[in-house]
Structure 1
Amino acid sequence: MPIKSVQEFLAASVQKDLSGDAFELESSHLLEVKLNGRVWAKAGSMVAYQGGVKFVRQGIMEQGLGNLLKKAISGEGMQMMKMEGQGRVYVADAGKKITLLRLAGDTIFVNGNDVLAYEDGIQSDITMMRRMAGMMSGGLFNMKLHGNGIVAITSHYEPLTLPVSAQTGPVFTDPNATVAWSGGLSPEVVVDMSLGTLLGRGSGESVQLKFKGEGWVVVQPYEEVYFQKTH
């Protein structure tokens, strides 16, 4: 990589406005939020901001009583924060690649750890795969996102979308590599102990998600392991 002068570095890395949307990627790993009201973002994801912005961790009783217990037991990865006011906020998550999706009445499911931010017009709900409890440390909690607005999701490296249809048959994925799927799909948890034994893992690929029907599923070339804090 050639050595740059200070002026060349500043010109290449300076903040840019290329669209009028509230969400704009400054790079594939850094999201700029043009805040004028309220936006939800992953707690701890702010790296810089300008203007009059207030950050509030999502209240324990917010967005419906049904999420109360789920939030209490789903760990830090599912914690969201409100960003309110006017200004610019820059958010990122451990250098993961950011993808922006515009929902127009659509419903999608996203692994809870892979939700970076979403506009206030998006409704969210935490969903649980009950059969997976006790089988593995990750992939149990997901977020259902529905409505109108932009959603920012993250992945390790480039994501891959696999179509699901009755013609091609079901798609099986590793829960720790599964990022998102379309709202019309309801994954089934399946266990293949022989596969886990073959690969020398006690609780890895032996647990899979089975997607069947009509839709799509997004995977990443990385098996993300989630750790929950203990108190």
Structure 2
Amino acid sequence: MGFREINAKMIEATVSPGQRLFSQRGAMLAYKGEVSFTPNMAGGQGGVMSMIGRRVANEDTPLMSVEGSGTVLFGHGGHHVQVIDLAGDTLYVEADRLLAFEGTLEQGTVFLGSQGGVMGMVRGQVSGQGLFTTSLKGHGSVAVMAHGGVIEVPITPQRPVHVDPQAYVAHHGDVRNKLSTALGWRDMVGRGSGEAFQLELSGSGAVYVQASEEKL
């Protein structure tokens, strides 16, 4: 199936019989062929327990199940779209950044505090994002939304990456996250004053960073 980037803000998805994909409700722009769109409460292969986890985590972004035979154009709010292809690994992403993903992927909910302890929980309050995040695991494509485009930054054991929490979009791999403070950091980059927070990601993988501090 797969996704094809039409431009920076739109993707085209091919829908085949016997396969399905999921999209954020309201993201369909146009379609060709015999394609059906139905509200989805379970959300991917995660089932009822995944749905309960997302409700507890306030990650209950409405999804549509897309099935049939044809092609569909997706986009939402004029946001930039990045396609990420997974080959058996896991992507961690905020639910409201999900534009669409293939039904071959298993969806779940992860408590970030389990990776970052107390600092991981603080991150949710500082960034305005949830303490939980959505996970997508397996083989398939994911389309995520961001402000101003996305860059993939490699993470290696020798070189951890520090990210402004507001610019964080998603990450994959064997990655640990920790929130740290940096006195005067925002002064140096011209984004405010006083004490600031950085999200430190270490291990092996990659983090996706948007070119803006704005939330969707």
**TM-score exceeds 0.5:** yes
Q: 1:60 to 1:218 in 2, by over 3 A?
A: closer
Tell me what 2:215 maps to: 225
The amino acid that maps onto 2:88 is: G
1:70-81 to structure 2, matched below 5 A, reads 70-71=54-55, 73-74=57-58, 78-81=61-64
Q: 1:66 to 1:120 in 2, by over 3 A?
A: closer
Tell me what 2:85 maps to: 102
Q: 1:181 to 1:133 in 2, by over 3 A?
A: closer
1:135-154 to structure 2, matched below 5 A, reads 135-138=126-129, 140-154=131-145
Q: Secondary structure of 1:113's partner? A: helix
Q: Secondary structure of 2:96's partner? A: helix
The amino acid that maps onto 1:214 is: S
The amino acid that maps onto 1:106 is: D
- Pairing 1:24–2:11 present: no
Q: 1:45 is matched with which residue: 10, 13, 27? A: 27
Q: 1:99 to 1:125 in 2, by over 3 A?
A: same
Tell me what 1:59 maps to: 41
Q: Secondary structure of 2:26's partner? A: coil
Q: CA RMSD in A?
A: 2.8
Tell me what 1:86 maps to: 69
Q: Is there any run of 5+ residues in structure 2 with no aligned partner, and where? A: 114-120
Q: Shift of the alpha carbon at 1:71? A: 3.0
**Aligned residue pair count:** 202
| TM-score in terms of structure 1 length | 0.74
Which has the greater radius of gyration?
1
Tell me what 1:187 maps to: 177
Q: 1:139 to 1:197 in 2, by over 3 A?
A: farther
Q: Is there any run of 5+ residues in structure 1 with no aligned partner, and where? A: 1-20, 227-231
- Pairing 1:117–2:100 present: yes
Q: 2:166 is matched with which residue: 145, 163, 176? A: 176
Alpha-carbon separation, structure 1, partners of 2:147 and 2:132: 18
Q: 1:225 to 1:153 in 2, by over 3 A?
A: closer
Q: Secondary structure of 2:125's partner? A: coil
Alpha-carbon separation, structure 2, partners of 1:155 and 1:225: 8
Alpha-carbon separation, structure 1, partners of 2:95 and 2:193: 24
The amino acid that maps onto 1:94 is: G
- Cα deviation per residue 1:50-81 (whole Å; 9 max; x = unaligned)? 333322222158723144142355256x3322
